[in-house]
Amino acid sequence: MLYLYHNDMSVCAQKVRMVLAHKELDWEGSNLNLRAGEQFAPDFLKVSPKGLVPVLVHDDAVILESNAIVQYLDEVFPESPLMSPNAVERAQIRGWLIRLDAGLHEQLAVISFCVAFRHQLLQRHATSESLQVFFEKISDPSRRTVMEDIVTNGLESPRLRLAALAYKKLIGDMATALADSEWLVGGEISLADFAMLPYIERLEQLQLSGWWAAYPQLDQWLARLRTTQAYLVGINEWSNPSYIQLMNDSGAEAWPHMKALLG
């Protein structure tokens, strides 16, 4: 049996749900409310010591880290494969996955929180004492430092410009990969496409699609992915309208600032 601890709008959980849907696997799960701090519940910390989703439990095996989870699923359930039969292409697919763990995931968190999600936390924790209690629950000191900065400083965080520049590079690389190809690697949809989709769609929800206005191939790629069963079942069905509204509204307000960051 497959059991997933996840969150409706978490980008790494979206990636895992897309793979589950692509492979038409049945699963059960818990959708943790991350703003309410459900990831800090002692029972969940026993499963995920850093208090992070997603976590996959397959029979007795507990698998942490979304990139490990999607590669595990692709190995154990080989129907509708998401890794290429070609070794060079497999290396390229892994390269896209590594890019997320080598910084892009954190950079997306920086952008999402500076523009939108910090407002949810500031509303929930109206006093600085309450906010401090929230930060102290984040066990990883480096993650805690980043969260304190982005929630407190928002658009003024120095990390925001660095995150925007990393995205500028990513968008250029994706545009190159998609210049003459429907998918990021080779001629078939792969884990690379499922991995990157949430990281681009989130920018669109934050009203940042102007960052790739010069590259229509990115919008075409997004549109193609959105017709897949994986997207419809793995992302669309879990979409949380209040999060989308917040991202749209605060993204529109932040756009002049965000545009200037790359100017």
Ligand X SMILES: N[C@@H](CCC(=O)N[C@@H](CS)C(=O)NCC(=O)O)C(=O)O
Q: Where along the sequence are the contacts to ligand X (CB under 6 A)?
A: 7, 10-12, 34, 39, 51-54, 65-67, 101, 105
**Torsions phi, psi for 99 (to 5 deg):** -55, -35
Cα 65 to chain centroid distance, Å, stands at 12
The Cα 21–Cα 31 span in angstroms is: 16
The Cα 263–Cα 261 span in angstroms is: 6
Continuous segment of H or E residues that includes residue 31: strand 28-31
CB of 229 to ligand X, least distance (A): 23
DSSP assignments along 46-107, one per residue: HH-TT--S-EEEETTEEEESHHHHHHHHHHHS-SS--S-SSHHHHHHHHHHHHHIIIIIHHH
Contact criterion met (CB below 8 Å) for 14 and 244: no
CB of 213 to ligand X, least distance (A): 27
CB of 14 to ligand X, least distance (A): 9
CB of 41 to ligand X, least distance (A): 12
The Cα 188–Cα 246 span in angstroms is: 34
CB of 138 to ligand X, least distance (A): 6
In the complex with ligand X, the residue whose CB is nearer, 29 or 51, is 51
The Cα 92–Cα 205 span in angstroms is: 27
CB of 85 to ligand X, least distance (A): 26
